[in-house]
Amino acid sequence: MDITAPVGIVGDPYLYDKQYGFTMTPDQLRNPARNPNEVVRPSRPIYRNPNEAPLRKLTVDLIKTYKNINESFYARKQRRHDAHQAVHPTASGVHQSMAQQQQQPPPQQMQQLQQQQPQSSGLQQQQQQQVQQQQMMAQQQQQAHMQPTNDYVLQQQQIYQQQHNNGPNNDGYDDVNFDYIVKEGEFFNNRYLIMGPIGKGSFGQVTKAYDKVEKEYVAIKIIKNKKTFFDQAQIEIRLLEMMNRHDSEGKYNIVQLKSHFVHRNHLCLVFELLSYNLYDLLRNTNFRGVSLNLTRKFGQQLAKTLLFLSTPDLSIIHCDLKPENVLLCNPKRSAIKIIDFGSSCQTGHRIYQYIQSRFYRSPEILLGIAYDTKIDMWSLGCILVEMHTGEPLFAGSSELDQMMKIVEVLGMPPKEMLDQGPKTKKYFDKTEDGVYYCKRARGSYTKPYEPPGHRKLHDILGVTSGGPHSRRAGEAGHSVEDYCKFKDLIKRMLTYDPKLRISPHFAMRHPFLKKTKEEQGSSMAAPQQQQPNKSSKLRRR
């Protein structure tokens, strides 16, 4: 009997027939069909032994498992309690007296008892206290072997939070998500006047503030009041300080970390205040994209940053390069800086395997194989296409959908990568001859994908049709030659094999990104877009 079907359990007047796929009542089973042409099914047992029900077996075994876990836990707890009593008898006496006070009746009842009973002598009081202590110890031992109720477990959790986190919500300073409740006008570290929110993410939140010492505006990143986020933020601080030391003049487009401190159990990072991000810029164009010339300027700066990060002294992988993490320094200029190194690591100290925002996630991360700084180059290729077309190149709704969208454009990944990928079976099946092919779409809710390599990058960029959707036809700087150079660079950035993927050194010297003499002698022009409104929430992917 299939428990996922509408099974006829005890008390249910309907029975589901797995073989024939329809439901019948017990009366229909007992009374044969009157129509002689109808086929009468052979009789079968109506009810099943409830002891054989898979669901019941699972429930009973689960209860037994939890019972054994609870008994073992409270037995160990009692042994630790007894050992603590032997080493610290005075402390145990204090705990017993506190427990004794908690079990005393209210003051009004005490007065009534004192009026009804005569005053006892000092010896009688001592004897009564000894008896009460013995009773309390017996009750504690009995409770230690009892199974905890949900209320008891909840009470213990609340006590733990109060002892280790200054209350369930950090004495009222945090919300239920461990984020600090920011109030405009308050001071952080007796120096920074809070002005208002800038953005929010999984790490915590960012707020604008005024530094009364340096007389300037800054951005403060307030980390969640949780150990995992606190520890990761410390890694971010270490990497930022390392990068800022190697880039004291600010040539390589890395955001400057000015200071850091702890405010009411929240680690706070103080950064220079920048302008809006590249996603805001795209949104202001109604997602029609920016010109090839402006895309080139962004690519030049980002390739230079990746070259800096890949130097042997640093070997830093950003791990979350996307338009939201690239900010303009000034709303009227094209100079940019990279932010959010909260997921970053060094090549020899990789921490996580599940990294990068999905739209910009490299094949090696999707397949679960080893990675290095080349994953940021893959993200850069996706970003440059999106900046010009106005929409993500690979907008997957899941990891499977992401891989299939990549295959639609770039074809099948190399067999060598698929052979060593622990997650290859998530996306591909293999024939008996060892040839990989995409998994078949399962269910009516999935839409079919284009054959591998059927969606051409040539058509996405509009190389010979005047740009994406022919929007740049006739514009200066958008010739077929310009688009051919752009397409060639993107193909090199989006090479499957990271060993063959273009490096930042050669990317900067590619014909599309290589600066002309005029560009080398002039400053960066302002982006030809109207300044958008800053978003208070970060785009989630």
Q: Is the dihedral of CA 119, 125, 131, 132 positive or negative?
A: positive
Find, among 225, 187, 223, the residue nearest to 205 by Cα.
223
First to last CA, the chain: 41
Do residues 211 and 261 lie in contact, with contact meaning Cβ atoms separated by under 8 Å? no
pLDDT at position 367 is 98
* 395 vs 378: CA distance, rounded Å: 14
Q: Is 277 exposed, middle or buried (0-12, 13-18, 19+ CB in 10 A)?
A: buried
Q: Helix, strand or coil for residue 341?
A: coil
* 236 vs 70: CA distance, rounded Å: 40
Q: Helix, strand or coil for residue 85?
A: helix
* 344 vs 429: CA distance, rounded Å: 33
Neighbouring-strand partners of residue 261: 268
Regions in the chain scoring below 70 on pLDDT: 1-66, 83-168, 441-446, 516-541
Question: Residue 349's Cα: distance from chain center in Å?
Answer: 20
pLDDT at position 352 is 76
Q: Torsion angle, CA of 88/89/95/99, rounded to 10 degrees? A: 150
Q: Helix, strand or coil for residue 225?
A: coil
Alpha helices in 349-433 (DSSP H): 363-367, 374-389, 399-410, 415-420
pLDDT at position 525 is 53
pLDDT at position 401 is 96
Q: Is 426 annotated as a binding residue?
A: no
pLDDT at position 328 is 98
Cβ atoms within 10 Å of 262's Cβ, excluding its own: 11
Cβ atoms within 10 Å of 82's Cβ, excluding its own: 12
Find, among 46, 48, 66, the residue nearest to 58 by Cα.
66
Catalytic residue among 211, 320, 376, 482: 320
Do residues 211 and 217 lie in contact, with contact meaning Cβ atoms separated by under 8 Å? yes
Find, among 264, 209, 257, the residue nearest to 233 by Cα.
257
Neighbouring-strand partners of residue 17: 22
Residue type, 38: E
Q: Helix, strand or coil for residue 328?
A: strand
Neighbouring-strand partners of residue 219: 208, 271
Q: Torsion angle, CA of 188/189/193/196, rounded to 10 degrees? A: -30
Counting every residue written for the chain, the total comes to 541
* 199 vs 398: CA distance, rounded Å: 25
* 129 vs 109: CA distance, rounded Å: 18
Cβ atoms within 10 Å of 531's Cβ, excluding its own: 14
pLDDT at position 351 is 73
Whether residue 459 lies in the annotated active site? no
Tell me how many helices (H) and strands (E) the chain has.
17, 14
pLDDT at position 535 is 45
pLDDT at position 174 is 95
pLDDT at position 296 is 98
Task: Tell me the backbone φ, ψ of residue 498, rounded to 5 degrees.
Answer: -65, -25
Domains defined for the chain, CATH in brackets: 1-35+44-77 (no CATH), 187-272 (3.30.200.20), 278-521 (1.10.510.10)
pLDDT at position 229 is 95
Cβ atoms within 10 Å of 255's Cβ, excluding its own: 22
Beta strands in 274-361 (DSSP E): 316-317, 326-328, 336-338, 345-346
pLDDT at position 537 is 43
Q: List pLDDT tens digits, range 409-459.
A: 999 999 999 999 999 999 999 999 999 999 976 654 567 899 999 999 999
Q: What would the two tokens of residue 107 be?
A: 């003051």
Q: What would the two tokens of residue 66 be?
A: 């939890």
Q: Is 73 exposed, middle or buried (0-12, 13-18, 19+ CB in 10 A)?
A: exposed
Cβ atoms within 10 Å of 492's Cβ, excluding its own: 17
Q: Running DSSP on this structure, what letter comes out for residue 121? A: P
Do residues 219 and 209 lie in contact, with contact meaning Cβ atoms separated by under 8 Å? yes
pTM of the full structure? 0.68
Find, among 226, 245, 118, the residue nearest to 177 by Cα.
226
pLDDT at position 508 is 98
* 256 vs 240: CA distance, rounded Å: 8
Residue 259, H or E segment: strand 257-263
* 112 vs 110: CA distance, rounded Å: 5
Do residues 337 and 324 lie in contact, with contact meaning Cβ atoms separated by under 8 Å? no
pLDDT at position 256 is 98
pLDDT at position 138 is 56
